[in-house]
Structure formats: C-alpha cells, structure tokens
Structure 1
Amino acid sequence: MDVVTLGETMVLFTPENAGPMRYTDRFSSRVAGAESNVAIGLARLGVQAGWMSRLGDDEFGKKIRSFIRGEGVDTSQAVFDETADTGLFFKEKLTPGEWRVKYYRQDSAASRMKPGDVDESYIAGAKYLHVTGITPALSESCYETVLTAIDYAKKHDVTVVFDPNLRRKLWPDNKARKVLTELVTQADIVLPGIEEAEFLFGSGSPEELSRKFREKGASTVIMKLGKKGAYYLNDDAEGLVHGFQVSEIVDPVGAGDGFSAGVLSGLLDGLSVKDAAQRGNAVGAMVIMAAGDVEGLPEKDRLLNFMDNRTRGDVER
C-alpha cells in the first residue's frame, strides 16, 4: 500500500435547486469525506490507497463502502458498527459561490473509532500515513485513534502527512488549537491552508508561518494559498508555485483534498517538493470546476494534459 488514511465519510445530500433548503423537495445524494476524497484522488492517479473507518450497519454505510471500493480504494479496514448510524450532511447552494453546510454526525459510527480498530501491520505496510484535523475533533476515542495510527507509523518509518483541515464548528477554538499543534509536532509533512496557519500561529506571511510549522517539527511544509497557489519549504528549497486559472468555479468543496492527493502522488512519483506542490495546485483547480467532492478528481493522463495546456509562473529561492 502506498498511502493509508483514516476518517469519517458521510452521505451528502444536495438540493437540486439553489436557495435555502426549506424551498426544495428534491435532493441528489453523493459520498463525501475528506480522507476518502484523498484516497479516491490517489487511486485515480494510479496510487494504491487504503481507507480506515467505521460505518453504520445501514444502507448509507453500505453505499459508502461500495462507492469507495468501486473507486479502487482498499476498504478492508472499514468496519460496520451495528450500534450506531452513518453520518449525513447537507450542502445548500444559496447563490452562485455561496454555500452552506449542515452536518448530522453526532454519535455517528465513525465517531466511535477507537485505537483497537487500527491494524498495526496495515500501517506498517504503507509508505505514507495521511491524517487530518477533522478526525480527532469527532470524539476523544477518535483523537486517541489518530495518535495510535501515528505511533504505528513512526515505529515502522512510515511518513506522516497531516492536513489540519480545521472545522471550527466541531470543537472549541482553544482545544482545536492545542490538538492541531500537537499533531503538527508529530508530522513529517504538513499541508495547511493559509487561514489554518493564521489560526494556529497568528498573522504572518506564508514564509513566516511556514517556518513556524518547521519550528514545531515538520520537515516539509506545503501551504495552500487559494488561487495564488502554494508555498513550499523544506531543508532543500522554498518558493511559491502559482495556481492554475480556471474558467468557472462550480463547487469549491474538496479542492484541498484534491491538493493533498496531487502532492502525495507527485512525491510517490519522485517529483521534487516544488513539482509535487504544482501538481497539487492543478488537481485542486480541476476539482473546483465540477460539482461534488470527488467528481472533478482527474485520472493521471487528464491531469498531465491539463497541466501541459496551461501556463504558469514560479518563483524559487
């Protein structure tokens, strides 16, 4: 296995028409979750990816496992829980470019993940462990599960990749800041957004904030800057790779997960950190041009064609 990740995936319902949900009676359903989005993005790029989680032993849980497995992701470590339900969420498009999300995930099956769910040998067989700041926010047992997975990764020299993926509605700011900072100290590679960096360390330039992540222990930082691109920093290089221009933003949700998939696939392909960040920018740009979290994730040939047909400028020091 190249990359293993763990976290909650839910069924997403989206109204067919724009405006507040009170005025609609028709919804489409999709499968969405930050970590499984990354795993699916990696699988489409030819990477062996595995996803660990708990699902309710219900039709929604079966839908999720079937969908993710159908995308080429290993789901052997996703278990069904007969005592809890699968989480759901709704995403309403109020106006073009304005979205509102409502979650129904309290006491969900995934929130009951526990350290005993983590198979040490499964993580030991991977090259990268990918975790986000969403999972530890779900419950104390989920937090302990993430720490256990990281401990196994470190024990077996598996590179730990951490995306803070801040969700302020899930927990108080002071607890979020404490736990996310702790996880930064445990990670080898950190993939924060500029807003998440400012949440953790206060205002500053991408260069200044990236150095603060490095001071906490991360060896490589690749910071997402939205349409401006990404800033990267490690022992060997630092610089900015500019973003890719898109004709229309259809749905911005999932762009960060696409970025992570692009970066990890690039590193697995032997690209430099700069070129991996550039690939991450490209995948993120392709994601926002399609509705849904995973619908815009490209296969490798389409991604390379997208990158070849667009000009960009880079700044390196």
Structure 2
Amino acid sequence: MDVVTFGETMVLFTPESTGPLRYAGTFEKKIGGAESNLVIALARLGHQVGWISRLGDDEFGHYVRNFIRGEGVDTSQVVLDGQYPTAVFFKERIIGQDPKIYYYRRGSAASCMVPGDVDENYIAQAKYLHITGITPALSATCKDAVFHAMELARRNKLTVVFDPNIRFKLWSREEAGPALMEIASRCDMVLPGLDEGEIMTGKTTPEEIAADFLQRGVQVVVIKLGERGAFYATASQSEYVKGFPVNHIVDTVGAGDGFAAGFLSGLLRGWSYRKAVELGNRIGAYALTVAGDVEGYPFWHQVAPDQRKEILR
C-alpha cells in the first residue's frame, strides 16, 4: 500500500442550471470528499491506496462506497453504519465565480468515527498516511481518531502528510488555527494554501509561513499558490515552482486535492521535491477543467508523455 487516508465523503448534488438553488429543478448526483478525492487521483496515477471511513448503511452509503471502490481504491476498512446517515451537500453554480457549497453533514455516520475505526495493521502496510483538517472538525471523536492515526503512523514509521483544508462552516477561525497547528507540528509534511498558512502561523509570505512550520519540526512544507504554482521548503532548500496555465476554469473544487495527489505520486516515484511539486501543479490544473470533484483527474498514461524526459533520466 502506498497511501492510506481517512475522512468523510458525501453525496454531491449539482444543479444542471446556474443561479440560486431555490430555482434549480434538476440535479446531477456525484460524490465529494477531500480524502477520497486524493486517493482516487492517486489510483488513476497507478498507486495502491486505501480509504477509511464510516458511511450510512443506506442507498447513498452504498453508492459512495461502490463508486470509490470502482476507482481502484481499497475500501475494506469502510464501516456501513445502520444508525446514522450518509451526508449530502449541494453546489450552487454562479457563472464566473467559485461555486457556493451547502453542507448537510451534522450527525452523519462519518462524524461518528472513533479511534477504533483506524486499524494499526492496516496503517502499517502503507508508506504515507494522509490526513486533512476537515476530519478533526467533524466531532470530538473524529479529532481523537486523527491523533490516534498519527500515533500509529509514527509507531510504524510512516510519513505523515497533512493538508489543512480549512472549512469555516465546521469551525471558527479562532478554533481552527490552534487545533490545526497542533496537528501540523506532529506531521512530516504540511501542504497548506497561502491563506491557510496565514491563519495557522500569523505570517504573510510563503517564506515566513514555511519557516514557521519548519521551526516546529515539519520536514517539508509546500504552500499552494493557485495559478502562481507553489512554494516548497525544507531545512536546506526552497523554491517557487510555477503553475500550469488553464485557459478556461470550469470548477475549482478538487484542485488542491489533485495537487496533493500529484505531489505524493512524484515522491512515490522517487522524484525530487521540485519535480514532485511540478507534477502536483499539473494534476491540480487538470482538475480545474471539468465540473465535479474527481472527474478531471487524469490517468497516468495521460500524464506520462509530459514526464518522459524525467522518466528517462
């Protein structure tokens, strides 16, 4: 197993029309969740991945599990919970703007995850544990599960990768900053957006934000800068890596998860940090071109021609 992650995936309803949801009459049903986005993208890039979660033992829960499993992700650790439902959310499409998101996830099956849902033997198979800042915001037991998973990863010598993925509909800025920094300080790699880095550290530039994380024991910091690309830093090197231009952006949701998947894919292939960040930028750019969370992620045969020179070195 290359990467294991855990968190909530919901059923996503996207209206076929643009404008306020109150006027929408027909919807398309898909799935959405940062953690499952990541492992689906990695599976398409040729990696062995696993996703841990709870879903309602309902039609939506079976749909989510079957979709993710159909993408080549191991779902053997997913619990179907007969007591709590699978969460849903809606996108409101406004031309020329990022979509507005409406969540209906309170009391969901995933919010009832507990440390016991994370099995040490399963975690120990992987090279990387990926976590996001969404899961600890779902409930106190989910937060406990995150810290338990990090402890299991540390015990079994996994590299722990943290994407803050701040969701202010789940907790306030004042709650999120300190809680996420506590998690980040126990991780090997941190992948914040620029605004997330500012919230967590109080710094304003990529260099200052990265330095703050490195001083807390993080080994690698990659700050996502949108169309500008990304900035990465370790104790001995740092560099800006330009992004890939996208002529027509259709949907921004899922781009950050695509970046994380590309970055980890590069590392799993033994590439340098710079080359891994370049791949992250490329996969993130793919995600921008298609509506939906995962629909734009490419397969490795689509990406490989662009990486041929690197492969031959």
Counterparts of 1:39 and 1:250, CA distance in 2:
22
C-alpha distance after superposition, 1:166-205 (max 9, x if no partner): 1111012222111100011110010110010011122421
1:163 has 2:163 as partner = yes
Amino acid at match of 2:28: S
Counterparts of 1:137 and 1:45, CA distance in 2:
29
Counterparts of 1:216 and 1:188, CA distance in 2:
10
Preserved CA contact (<8 Å) 2:98 2:251: no
Counterparts of 2:104 and 2:254, CA distance in 1:
19
Counterparts of 1:300 and 1:10, CA distance in 2:
26
Preserved CA contact (<8 Å) 2:214 2:235: no
Count residues with an aligned counterpart. Answer: 309
Counterparts of 1:124 and 1:285, CA distance in 2:
32
Preserved CA contact (<8 Å) 1:120 1:152: yes
Counterparts of 2:181 and 2:216, CA distance in 1:
8
Alignment of 1:41-52 (within 5 A): 41-52=41-52
Amino acid at match of 1:284: G
C-alpha distance after superposition, 1:133-166 (max 9, x if no partner): 0000000000000110000000010000000001
Preserved CA contact (<8 Å) 1:194 1:223: yes
Counterparts of 2:72 and 2:151, CA distance in 1:
27
Alignment of 1:116-195 (within 5 A): 116-195=116-195
SS at match of 2:53: strand
Amino acid at match of 1:119: D
Counterparts of 2:307 and 2:294, CA distance in 1:
19
C-alpha distance after superposition, 1:55-88 (max 9, x if no partner): 0000000000000000000000111110000000
Match of 1:218 in 2: 218
Match of 2:281 in 1: 281
C-alpha distance after superposition, 1:277-307 (max 9, x if no partner): 1100000001001110100001112123356
Counterparts of 2:223 and 2:198, CA distance in 1:
11
SS at match of 1:168: coil
- Name the CA shift for 1:292/1:307 in 2 (closer, same or farther; >3 Å): farther
1:303 has 2:299 as partner = no
Q: CA RMSD in A?
A: 1.2
Counterparts of 1:182 and 1:12, CA distance in 2:
31
Q: State the Cα distance separating 1:95 from its structure 2 match.
A: 2.2
Amino acid at match of 1:123: I
- Name the CA shift for 1:25/1:306 in 2 (closer, same or farther; >3 Å): farther
Counterparts of 2:43 and 2:99, CA distance in 1:
28
Amino acid at match of 2:115: P
Q: State the Cα distance separating 1:91 from its structure 2 match.
A: 0.3
Amino acid at match of 1:232: Y
Q: State the Cα distance separating 1:96 from its structure 2 match.
A: 2.6
Identity, % of aligned pairs? 53
Q: State the Cα distance separating 1:308 from its structure 2 match.
A: 7.4
Match of 1:88 in 2: 88
Alignment of 1:8-27 (within 5 A): 8-27=8-27
Amino acid at match of 1:256: G
Match of 2:64 in 1: 64
Preserved CA contact (<8 Å) 1:97 1:249: no
Preserved CA contact (<8 Å) 2:54 2:79: yes
Amino acid at match of 1:265: S
Alignment of 1:249-260 (within 5 A): 249-260=249-260
Preserved CA contact (<8 Å) 2:98 2:252: no
C-alpha distance after superposition, 1:109-155 (max 9, x if no partner): 00000001110000011000000000000000000001100000000
Counterparts of 1:164 and 1:206, CA distance in 2:
15
C-alpha distance after superposition, 1:5-45 (max 9, x if no partner): 00000000000000001111100010110000000000000
Counterparts of 1:290 and 1:308, CA distance in 2:
25
Match of 1:97 in 2: 97
Match of 1:270 in 2: 270
Counterparts of 1:274 and 1:20, CA distance in 2:
42
Amino acid at match of 1:195: D
Counterparts of 1:291 and 1:301, CA distance in 2:
21
Match of 2:112 in 1: 112
Match of 1:315 in 2: none
TM-score by length of 2: 0.97
Preserved CA contact (<8 Å) 1:282 1:307: no
Match of 1:312 in 2: none
Counterparts of 1:307 and 1:101, CA distance in 2:
35
Counterparts of 1:165 and 1:197, CA distance in 2:
11
